[in-house]
Structure 1
């Protein structure tokens, strides 16, 4: 028979011991919990104190900087103490991000001509004004792949043989007659050709080339380079005189060897655009031959003789790559395909806007745009993320429109407004005009956006569509410019 009373009293010591252990464990857990809470509170207090100190320091700095103060500079003992007044930096008009008054820039004079630049400069001290710096900085920060230079060569003057390390070169001859030379890889093929006003020349990056004025009047070129960094160029005469005499002698192997090399002397003046005073004694019976068309048209394009694309208020012509070259002649196809083979090539165009004509608001999908005003005057409007800007333009001004920036150009003079334009693409230019994107947007979307009755907007869209259907040339223009 089981004795329940015995069992109960026999378990009592064990239960007492268990209760005591549980109490000890409970006290330990409470102490550990209190230790964690203490650590947390201590960290919280430290963070609070650190934050308060930081706020106090920032407040003191702000108060100190917000109060006007003067820096005292000690001069030599003979001079009294003076307080230097800090120079106030005047704000530059935002329009100079898009506008450069090139006639006001520095003229680099040579014996045979002159060069001027609208470009980015590594050394800010090379800018003549804050406005010029704003334009150069804009070209660089927008990664425009754009630099513009004007080159004037006197009669019989020579732009020395040279090449560019970091850019392709596209040129438009505004005035005069020139003879061009291009040396291909390996020097096995030399392409020479003549250009006259209205024609385009192209030199791929690192291609040796020269330009010689063979007419009686000055040659005036507009040159566009596919770089937004400072242009890097090397002339042949500079290379020659930088080469040790023995190296030049062993490389060129002239009759007379190193003694002949030593007969050359470097001129004191830069020969970038060369015209020796005794040229008649140095050169006799010069020959200005023209290479076969298959070679010439890689580096040459007759822009003035190319197809014209009409639009209401003006006309445009292109020297560019065409995806569909069915309307190009054989020589134009050579230029189009050769252009597209080179990375970072440009598109060149002429844009003529008649008196009071308008190149309506538009933007380019795949290119930055740079332009030079050849004749006339006008008004330019730009709409960008920074707001709307409008300014006047005149002969010699350079304009710049970053990719995707909507802009318009209006002629405001009695004569035509004529531009030479360059676009930073070797592909076919892609453009969208205001009337096209408004016509393409559903009328009920426009009604909701502009708080305008739908039937009114439908009437405007129908009118825009009628214009597009009537003029096939306008449609072509919209697709290509």
Structure 2
């Protein structure tokens, strides 16, 4: 978009809190600031607030590089390096950042309550491919043909994934597979004993 700095409507201010991208609950939500809200910029960001144990689900971007910058709390970022066939994981504290190159599969997990970080892009409109969509639209017959995965087991495993997922786990997840009728509580054990994140013996250097 071409912006004329001499135009009377030209402005250099934007408020990400006024544009909600996704709200899971009052404690876990994403707001945004992109060129639609502030045309003078040629980049954009998501403003992310998460409680401990909540994950920005696995996904990738086809057209942008992404920088994650932690403001408060702690987060673990992980990205799959397609060249070394390995996962690169970083434990971020306030003031620290990590990057996701364009096209690389990645995810982010909050390690403490009230974690706040920005995800900043080098283009104004990032494309997003959700891992949840890949899983739920992959036919069970193709999973079997491609990976020798049992068709019925695959179909059963992905049953809870009935829509695009941005923040997980979904409300009502019993953390042992499947969805219950009970609300999901985001209070989790300390990071060293988190059921998904055994940080006492991290598999990757920070």
Q: What range is the shorter-chain TM-score in?
A: 0.7 to 0.9
Question: Which residue of the partner structure matches residue 221 of structure 1?
Answer: 117
Question: Which residue of the partner structure matches residue 258 of structure 1?
Answer: 151
Contact 2:72 2:93 in 1 (8 A): yes
Over 3 Å counting, the alpha-carbon distance change for 1:171 and 1:205 in structure 2 is same
The one of 234, 243, 246 equivalent to 2:141 is 246
Residue-by-residue CA offset, 1:66-102 (whole Å, 9 max, x unaligned):
xxxxxxxxxxxxxxxxxxxxxxxxxx96353x11122
Structure scoring higher RCO (CA < 8 A, sep ≥ 6) equals 2
Q: Are residues 1:110 and 2:31 paired?
A: no
In 2: Cα distance, 1:285 partner to 1:241 partner:
22
Give the SS at the match of 2:126: coil
Over 3 Å counting, the alpha-carbon distance change for 1:120 and 1:152 in structure 2 is same
Aligned 1:409-420 pairs, distance under 5 A: none
In 1: Cα distance, 2:196 partner to 2:19 partner:
39
Question: Which residue of the partner structure matches residue 151 of structure 1?
Answer: 48
Aligned 1:45-84 pairs, distance under 5 A: none
Q: Are residues 1:291 and 2:185 paired?
A: no
Contact 2:56 2:107 in 1 (8 A): yes
In 2: Cα distance, 1:269 partner to 1:176 partner:
29
Question: Which residue of the partner structure matches residue 3 of structure 1?
Answer: none
Give the SS at the match of 1:238: helix
Contact 2:133 2:163 in 1 (8 A): no
Question: Which residue of the partner structure matches residue 456 of structure 1?
Answer: none
Over 3 Å counting, the alpha-carbon distance change for 1:260 and 1:186 in structure 2 is farther
Give the SS at the match of 1:94: coil
The one of 234, 240, 249 equivalent to 2:129 is 234
Residue-by-residue CA offset, 1:46-75 (whole Å, 9 max, x unaligned):
xxxxxxxxxxxxxxxxxxxxxxxxxxxxxx
Q: Are residues 1:271 and 2:165 paired?
A: yes
Q: Which 5+ residue runs of structure 2 have no aligned equivalent?
A: 1-6, 178-193
RMSD: 2.5
The structure number with the bigger radius of gyration is 1
Contact 2:132 2:163 in 1 (8 A): no
Normalising by structure 2, report the TM-score: 0.76
Aligned 1:92-103 pairs, distance under 5 A: 94-96=9-11, 98-103=12-17
Over 3 Å counting, the alpha-carbon distance change for 1:182 and 1:285 in structure 2 is closer
Aligned residue pair count: 179
In 2: Cα distance, 1:236 partner to 1:209 partner:
10
Contact 1:171 1:221 in 2 (8 A): yes
Aligned 1:374-389 pairs, distance under 5 A: none
Contact 1:193 1:290 in 2 (8 A): no
Over 3 Å counting, the alpha-carbon distance change for 1:178 and 1:290 in structure 2 is farther
